[in-house]
Amino acid sequence: MSLTRRAFAASAALVASPALSTARPRPIVIAHRGASGERPEHTLAAYRLAVAQGADFIEPDLVPTKDGHLVARHENEISGTTDVASRPEFVARKATKTIDGQAVTGWFTEDFTLAELKTLRARERLPALRPASAKFDGQEAIPTFQEVVDLAKAESRRTGRTVGVYPEMKHPTYFRTLGLPLEERLARALKSNGLDSRTAPVFVQCFEVEPLKRFRTLSKARRVMLVSNGPAPVDVKSAAGLKAIAAFADGLGPEWPLVLPVADGALGPATGLVRAAHAAGLAVHPWTVRAENRFLPKALQRGASPADHGDATALVKALYAAGVDGVFSDFPGLAVQAR
């Protein structure tokens, strides 16, 4: 084991292990796609800023390239987050595909080699809401998962605190049908980086049940089941559903209104989800706190524009008060300060 890996592994328990305990003195802050409210998402610049703001974990969504490398993109369709649509050499790559039952038109990572993707430049996905972030368009390349892990290790050494990684497997069933399975690739990557343990500073997340079950057979890393505030593959509002999740996952990642429902434009009292999940042995890491009015209930909005920042601090504090074990945020500095 290299000195770098020993140092990273030795400090892992400082952040990782207590995160599953209800006795943890403070919840973890997960930088959703990096500090993605202030830099183009899933770029090394966004991840570095998140660490500087105090995030405990940085979150890369993972999709594969044509030649099997894992790269950090929210979706495999990349026209909204890169300059691919303006590249004449890639005009012929535009396609329409059916992904998880939805027809999607654009350019897809699985049709590019890593070398080809590295020629593209990242851009802000929501420029109308995040014009300050859009000023950084064109400055960053698409990072590989290995580059994200290397950044986390380097920042752990630099800051003297553990910076973990929180990868999400995107559309794993779809990619398995293409012969580009995510589970095995991610498991190999974690093992090669000394992250294949329950105390390693890593959580592996997914919206799909079977891929998480499969990943459980490939790696000791902890797993988190993601669920949205709508139809979900497992009923998280029942004890039986939470018990079923606990059989293959260590944590629950609910959309935040499942913890704090919105009624008449305001935050309502916390549901019993956190308490019930804890009773089932699951950590709870809700997603995603964003500062813009567009993403906040009316009572927390400030100013007239959807891009104006509202009182997201009140939302974060309410989630902390509800007993969550961690929070995803596009503005990790805000979540750290509220903590």
Contact 123, 191 (CB under 8 A): no
Q: Give pLDDT, residue 231.
A: 83
123 part of a folded domain? no
In angstroms, the Cα distances linking 193 to 6, 42, 156, 280 are: 10, 20, 14, 31
The total number of structural domains that make up the chain: 1
Q: Which segments within 60-186 are labelled E, that is strand?
A: 61-64, 70-72, 95-99, 102-106, 164-165, 168-169
* Strand 168-169 versus strand 70-72 pairing type: unpaired
Q: Which residues contact 303 (CB under 8 A, 6 or more apart)?
A: 293, 309, 310
266 part of a folded domain? yes
Q: Give pLDDT, residue 105.
A: 98
130 part of a folded domain? no
13 part of a folded domain? yes
110 part of a folded domain? no
199 part of a folded domain? yes
Q: Which domain CATH number covers 140?
A: 3.20.20.190
Range of the domain at 328: 3-74+135-338
Please report, in tens digits, the pLDDT of each residue of the chain (339 residues total): 443 444 444 444 434 444 444 455 689 999 999 999 999 999 999 999 999 999 999 999 999 999 999 999 999 999 999 999 999 999 999 999 999 999 999 999 999 999 999 999 999 999 999 999 999 999 999 999 999 999 999 999 999 999 999 999 999 999 999 999 999 999 999 999 999 999 999 999 999 999 999 999 999 999 999 999 988 888 899 999 999 999 999 999 999 999 999 999 999 999 999 999 999 999 999 999 999 999 999 999 999 999 999 999 999 999 999 999 999 999 999 999 999
Residue matched to tokens 């990096």:
34
113 part of a folded domain? no
Taking residue 94's Cβ as centre, other Cβ atoms within 10 Å add up to 14
**Residues labelled as active-site residues:** 32, 74
Question: End-to-end CA distance of the chain, in Å?
Answer: 35
222 part of a folded domain? yes
pTM comes to 0.92
- Tens digits of per-residue pLDDT, 92-129? 999 999 999 999 999 999 999 999 999 999 999 999 99
Q: Give pLDDT, residue 266.
A: 97
Q: Give pLDDT, residue 76.
A: 98
In angstroms, the Cα distances linking 188 to 11, 103, 217 are: 22, 31, 12
